[in-house]
Every structure is written in structure tokens, then in C-alpha cells.
Structure 1
Amino acid sequence: MRFISSLALLSLAGLGLATPTSEAINRRQHDAPAVAAGSDSHGIFGALSGRGDTKSGNSKNKAKWTPCLHQNDVDILVDAYVRMISHWNDDDAKYLTDDFIDTSDSINILAGIPLGSPTFSSKQAFIDHQHTQPDNLPLVITHKSPYSCTEMAVIWQATFGVAQKQVRGISIAEATKENGFWQIKRIDVEFNSLAYLLDMGGSYKMPGQ
């Protein structure tokens, strides 16, 4: 999954190659770009995203700047997501991009939508659903996973409806800052759909029963 990535740094000495001479080390230190202390709270993720400028003589080469999520950004989007599912308000539609998409096979299996297909293929489809059949789930976030530059994940639970069975799920959201503020571009969510079915007043029969 793209959400969590790892970086491995391999040294020449660790590979058993020749030990660099002091001249080579000095040359490398001279050629290495300087990184301002405290310029990026995301460390190497910020460096890989192309932050900062490199100057050489009278010329200036600008690297492409890619914004990355910070904890405050994650908190704002997670709070907006909880409001969307718990009690829809049209004001929160601004937190969804125009090309927003929502995918959940947990919902698809209950709604008769082909598995693997988008549950809501557009922002407007999601909004229309909230106007006609709002979720109104008492969503409680129980865990916020570490986030990457543009993705975040939460574990949530909700107890509601006829059976009052606890539904527990995970939502992974992709975010973007193309319009000057952070918005949710995509959500992938899966949960205990059998408990959800019972809470909606449905029933099921296990094999052998």
C-alpha cells in the first residue's frame, strides 16, 4: 500500500567497497547542498518532495515545491470527515475536491454495487446521498495512524440503529492542496459490514445454520 513507505540508505563502506579518501570526503562535503535547520518538519519526505532553492553563482534554480500535510492539516480534515459522516452540513463540501471519489466494498456489497467499483464516483454523488440518505453515524475516531505527505488513515467505530452492534472500520484519505487549502481527493473505507447490516435492521444466515 502507498500509505506507508520506507527509505533505506546504503553506504559504500557497508557494501564492502573501497573506503573513500579524505580528499573525496572533502569534495563530497563541498558539493553537497546545504539544508537549513528546521526548514522542514517532515525531514527527508520534504527533501524528496523538492522543497527549497539551489543557488549557483548568479543563476538560481528553483525545485518544484510540493506541499506536505502537517498534524494541524490532518486534524482539520479528520474533523471535517467525522462531521460529514455523523451529521452532514453543506459547508463541509468545500473539503472535497471537484474530482472526489469514494470507494468501499463494505458498502458496495450491501448496496448491490459491483465490488471494486467506486461507491461514489463524484463529489456531487456523495453530496446527493447525504441529502437523501444521510449516514448520520455517531463516528468516533479511536486511532490516527502516522500520515505521509498526502495521505492519512484513521480507525473509527460507531454503534447505532436496531441492533446497537459496534461497527469498526478504517478510512484512508488522499489529500491535495491544489486550491490553496487542503481537501480530500479520495477516500477508501472498509468496515464490519455484517454488524452494519444488523444495525440497519437487516439479517443474514451463516453457512451451516
Structure 2
Amino acid sequence: MRFFQSLTLLALSGLGLASPVDTSSSAVEARHWPGPWGYGQCLRKEDAQELVDAYVRMIRGWKDEDAKYLAESFTDWSDSINILAGKPLGTVTFPSKAAFVKKQQVAPDNLPIEVTHQGPIDCDEISIIWSMTFGAAQKPVRGETILTATKEAGYWQISRIDVEFNSIAYLLNIGGTYTMPSSSA
């Protein structure tokens, strides 16, 4: 009988089912909870708000100290920006943290972005809708941003920005022009 008990315990330990439970503070802090795709560390509301606040600060007026909120694996994707910048659609807008930071240091956006809706928050993604009115034409620009987060540095950072907005209104606000297509009846 003892042989079968030992064999069962050995089999369960191989599956990780008979392992001792670690209740140290570091183990408790590293606990994972279920997300939509399985188990992993997920954003809390407070974490999401901190990243949204950092994103807004970056767009309103760049400060180098906010670069800490960008992961080393950072990328930025936007066909709205790409069309205005003459870049091919469907390609990365800023391929790295360094490229994004350099652009912000040389020509910061300094735009009056206002978050009008935040949510939903997924395990590692935050969705926001925003608006801003600025520039020559003072046209309202409305956009959507999805911030993807990571804890690769041990704290939550933005690893990817996906942003799309009304690029025609934006173009007018920065002094550009466009011609409406002729209407065919």
C-alpha cells in the first residue's frame, strides 16, 4: 500500500499537483490571474490609468521622464499618421522607442488631447477614444488609440500604440489642403 501512495505522490509531483505552496511575499506579488487567453499578469484599473495618463502627457507636451513608460520593445502603428507623413500604409510608423522619443524631442506633438472615453481594459490592452481641436482650421479631430502593455521591465509600460483618427481634419489643422472628389449622381 505504501508503495502505491509513494507512486501516486511521485506522479502528482511530476504534474506539479503535489508541489509545496510558496507563500513568500515575492511569490504572492508574482501571482497570475486568468485573462482572456489563459493565465498571465493582467492590468489593474490603476495600472491602466497610469499608462493612459502617461500617453496623454506625451501627446500634450513631451517630457523625457515619460520615456520610462515606453518599453524597449515599443512600436507605434498608424495609417492616419503614415498617410500624412507620406509613408506606406500598413507599415510601422515608429519602429522603436528610440525613434519615437527622438521625434518627440525634435518635434513634439504638443496637442490638446482630451480622453472622452476609456475602456474596455483587457488583460494587457487599453482602449481610449479622444478628441482635440487645434491649429489653423480649428477642426475637431476624433481618434481611437489602443495601448498594449507589458511588464518586461518589472512594471507596466506601453509596448505598442495603435492609433487612428480623422486625418483630413488633422491635415486642415496643420495648414494642409485637400480637394473633395466630385460627386456623381
State if a TM-score over 0.5 links the two structures: yes
SS at match of 1:155: strand
List runs of 5+ in structure 2 lacking aligned partners: 1-31
2:155 to 181, 197, 205: 181
Map residues 1-209 of structure 1 onto 2, 5 A cutoff.
44-45=34-35, 48-49=38-39, 66-208=40-182
Which amino acid letter does the alignment assign opposite residue 35 of structure 2? F
TM-score by length of 2: 0.79
Which amino acid letter does the alignment assign opposite residue 163 of structure 1? A
2:113/2:132 contact within 8 Å kept: yes
Q: Which has the higher contact order (CA 8 A, sep 6+)?
A: 2
SS at match of 1:72: helix
- State the Cα distance separating 1:44 from its structure 2 match: 4.8
1:165/1:195 contact within 8 Å kept: yes
Which amino acid letter does the alignment assign opposite residue 90 of structure 1? D
Q: Give the count of matched residue pairs.
A: 153
1-structure distance, mates of 2:74, 2:37: 28
- State the Cα distance separating 1:46 from its structure 2 match: 8.0
CA displacement, residues 20-45 of structure 1 (integer Å, 9 cap, x when unaligned): xxxxxxxxxxxxxxxxxxxxxx9752
List runs of 5+ in structure 1 lacking aligned partners: 1-41, 50-65
- State the Cα distance separating 1:154 from its structure 2 match: 0.3
Q: Which has the higher helix share?
A: 2
SS at match of 2:93: coil
Q: Identity across aligned pairs (percent)?
A: 58
2:73/2:97 contact within 8 Å kept: yes
Q: Which has the higher strand share?
A: 2
TM-score by length of 1: 0.70
2-structure distance, mates of 1:46, 1:160: 38
2-structure distance, mates of 1:131, 1:187: 18
Which amino acid letter does the alignment assign opposite residue 45 of structure 1? G
SS at match of 2:175: coil
